[in-house]
Amino acid sequence: MPQNTGSYDISTLLAARFQSAAQFGLSTITDILTADIAAHNAIVTQMVSEMAEVTSDRQRIYGTSVGGDMTEVDEYGAAPTQRSLPGSTVGFPLKLFQFNLGWTEKWLQTRTPADLAIAVQGAQKAHLKAVTRELKRAIFVSANYTHRDHLVDNVDLAVKRFVNADSANIPDGPNGEAFAGATHTHYDGEASLTAPFLKAVINNVIEHGHGGNVKVAISRTDETAVRALTGFTGYQDPRLVFGASTTGVPAQRLDITRLDNRAIGIFEGAEVWVKPWAIANYVFAWDAGDSRKPLAYRQRDNQALQGLRIASTFSSHPLVAQFMEAEYGIGVWTRTNGAVLYFANATYADPTIS
């Protein structure tokens, strides 16, 4: 008789609807859920790592500017002493998020494995939603704030945004450009979306030395308006392309598999992306190829406390738990590697993010 081979996965639990979790085997359920949660955490980490450095640091020094001018002197001359500008401290928050499970011993005796799987899937969806919300707040909210690190030792952390005219020192540009910390900002407003202002947002990033792989994120709501801008070159829809390229150069094909998460074309050398986390009437530009990522995604240094996890009361009974938890926070790290344009008003306004 042939033997079935393979391993249990979350679909096994979803299919188990006619026996209790206790009858199915709590140890087996624990192994399945642990593997599924680990896979979910890997997906979340991959998602945020596109623009965030994953770290356990809670604060760093950013913005030290090493520069100066060479002075011509004669053989007896001595150039004046020049000093480097000190950097400023940027902090990364750490917050605790919970999803209520309410699993008790009696619950496990009467509920099915499918009930457990559905609850975990609900927590995973809520976790992904919460991470996306914190990502959007880190990008689009313009005001610095102080975060009390209450999960560690109650030290106050200065959480900064992208360059926002807060008088902090800004590193010189690659060609010696100097920027006034009291006036230079990467949060701009304009009454309507125009090619010159979109170009200006891209230049806000490039002029600081970030230019290897600049991307522009827009909402699907604004895709038509961006496509209409002078200088925008759209990728070709493969369903509408016939025969070979007339130029002999392969054309970039438009991704038709995911309409709210795809590159749609090129503008001023930057690749324009429709992103599911982008907000209508806002454009975000950043250099995705720079090792100095725009954001930092802070977690605990203890790996057992990283990512989404079942917060069990007793480690010997991991499924008897009231909550699933995740501890993390997102803050701006490279303050110059990101710029936002709000094109519904001449003055920048923070969006409402819930």
Q: What is the pTM of this model?
A: 0.85
Query: 270 with 338: CB under 8 angstroms?
Result: no
Whole-angstrom distance, CA of residue 234 vs CA of residue 262: 12
Nearest one of 331, 336, 344 to 282, comparing CA atoms:
344
Half-sphere exposure of 19 (CA within 13 A, CB side): 11
How far is residue 132 from each of residues 99, 135, 297, 309, measured CA to CA in Å?
16, 5, 12, 18
Do 31 and 13 contact (CB within 8 A), yes or no? no
- Rounded to whole angstroms, the Cα distance separating 134 from 127 reads 11
Q: Please report, for the chain, the start and end positions of each structural domain, with discontinuous segments joined by +.
A: 10-61+86-342
Q: pLDDT tens, position by position, for the chain (354 residues)?
A: 445 444 556 676 776 676 777 777 778 888 888 899 999 999 999 889 989 999 999 999 887 555 556 767 677 767 675 555 566 889 999 999 999 888 887 878 888 888 888 889 999 999 999 999 999 999 999 999 999 999 999 999 999 999 999 999 898 888 888 899 999 999 999 999 999 999 999 999 999 999 999 999 999 999 999 999 999 999 987 766 655 555 554 556 676 666 778 999 999 999 999 999 999 999 999 999 999 999 999 999 999 899 999 987 666 667 777 889 999 999 999 999 999 999 999 999 999 998
Strand partners, 185: 164
Strands (E) across 88-243 are located at: 88-91, 95-100, 145-148, 156-159, 187-189, 214-218, 232-234
